[in-house]
Structure 1
Amino acid sequence: MAAALAEIADPDAAVQFRRFFKTGPGEYGAGDVFLGVRVPESRAVAKRFAALPLDQVDALLDSPTHEERFVGLVILNTQFARASGARGFDADARARIVESYLAAVRRGRVNNWDLVDVSAENIVGPWLLDRPRDLLFELARADSLWERRVALLSSFAFIKAGDASTTFALAQRLLDDRRDLIQKALGWMLREVGKRVDRGLLIGFLDEHAAELGRTALSYATEHLTPAERAHYRAATR
């Protein structure tokens, strides 16, 4: 699999990706290694290796190379979906995939926004649809920026199922988190509640909490409101 990615690597793109994903000293992606493989190409490689054994996927998730971790996560998505699908529900396979994913998260291997965003809503979210969601609140309390983002993005699966309650509960816990990538995820999930579940629920949340939200989160959350509504809520920020 590594050889398949190396064959299509683009050194010029790798330089761009290192800047885009903030890999400089002190930045959130500090020290990450890029080959320069674009997302569609990475997904094509993941499709070729979709049946890779889980221990080999785990090895990909521990790779120092960003694109290898990305491909590993896309493979986990595919395997989780197949284990959940109409062709046969495999509870044991689902549990093993979730365990593998959460272990990688806690080892700090799902460690950039694209890695979180491509995986959390497709693995943790569906896994918890019919289960207690204490795990997400544990992740939301973690010191790791990426674990907190996993918590928020996992709730996207619930939003798509018409349930905003977990997103709102997580949002209240993370209102004061001013890390930019948490602000963006928080505002994004709130916006999706308004779009996919109930605009009135979003309005009610904003009426109560707009003054506590950071400007970035509020900007994202209100994107699809009217100009007058956006101005109203932005005037409320402290």
Structure 2
Amino acid sequence: MNTLKKIWDHRGIIEKFEANRNVEQAEPMKAYMKDHFSFLGIRSPLRKELLKEQFREYALPEPEQLFSEVWKLYKLPEREYQYAAIALLEKMKKHLTSDDLPDLLQLIESKSWWDSVDSIAPKAIGHVVKLDRTHGEKVMREWSLSDNMWTNRSAILHQLKFKQETNTDLLFEMINQHSSSNEFFIQKAIGWVLREYAKTNPDIVKLFVEENPLKPLSKREALKHFK
């Protein structure tokens, strides 16, 4: 028999997470993230189980309330709450449209680090761009020229899971814009997206790497699976 779910309340997540706060685990988790964020000390398997409980217990918010609810979690200090906000975003991804790109940009540029950016860019942003390639790719070109490094990384990575649907011209255009960057996270993103696309189109990737100047890290990452 189906039980009636409660109306969505983000405080359900807070209660679940606070009940599982682990000070001993919080410090090494904080250290792993270079002390950029404080942690509750809830490791990934338990955090995911607690979020499953939340989604079983509570109905999802109305689509027009999505970002309001996401921000209620995202603004909390401990990093697990940003992960919870991203999980809610992923749960309601089908409701996202190109109109939501400004809100997604705000998330990318808030409390930015590789863990949040790499969850939002290929999934939520990639999904939105696929819905409207003309508008989405125009916005991605703007993001690629941003002064914010994490926004650049998001633009590079938004096609990470596109496989045969990859716009190769756009991908290579963005990579060439940033190929001389000394920023570790940009070099790594270039290598990662090329390595992933090589699973679909190895010859084009190999040729691109051979014919274009890339930083050693980008090149090494791009060719990691080539013999």
**8 Å CA contact 1:158, 1:166 repeated in 2:** no
Gaps of 5+ in 1: 24-28, 84-92, 227-238
Give the equivalent residue in structure 2 for 1:74: 87
Greater Cα shift, 45-54 or 120-129: 45-54
Give the equivalent residue in structure 2 for 1:39: 44
Shift of 1:128: 0.8
Is residue 218 of structure 1 aligned with residue 222 of structure 2? no
Shift of 1:96: 6.1
Superposed structure 1 runs of 4+ greater than 4 Å apart: 95-99
Give the equivalent residue in structure 2 for 1:118: 119
Query: C-alpha separation between the residues in 2 aligned to 1:167 and 1:120?
Result: 14
- One of 180, 188, 191 as aligned partner of 1:187: 191
Is residue 21 of structure 1 aligned with residue 33 of structure 2? yes
**8 Å CA contact 1:80, 1:97 repeated in 2:** no
Gaps of 5+ in 2: 1-12
Shift of 1:180: 1.2
- Name the SS of the counterpart of 1:150 in structure 2: helix
**8 Å CA contact 2:70, 2:85 repeated in 1:** yes
- Name the SS of the counterpart of 1:156 in structure 2: coil
Question: Aligned AA for 1:205?
Answer: F
Is residue 204 of structure 1 aligned with residue 217 of structure 2? no
> Cα RMSD between the aligned structures?
2.1
- One of 133, 138, 154 as aligned partner of 1:134: 138
**8 Å CA contact 1:137, 1:151 repeated in 2:** yes
C-alpha change, 1:162 and 1:98, in structure 2 (3 Å) is closer
Question: Aligned AA for 1:119?
Answer: I
**8 Å CA contact 2:27, 2:41 repeated in 1:** yes
- Please give the TM-score of this superposition, normalised by the length of structure 2: 0.81
Would you say how many aligned residue pairs link Structure 1 and Structure 2?
A: 204
**Residue identity (%):** 23
Give the equivalent residue in structure 1 for 2:7: none
**8 Å CA contact 2:181, 2:187 repeated in 1:** yes
- One of 8, 15, 30 as aligned partner of 1:3: 15
Give the equivalent residue in structure 1 for 2:71: 58
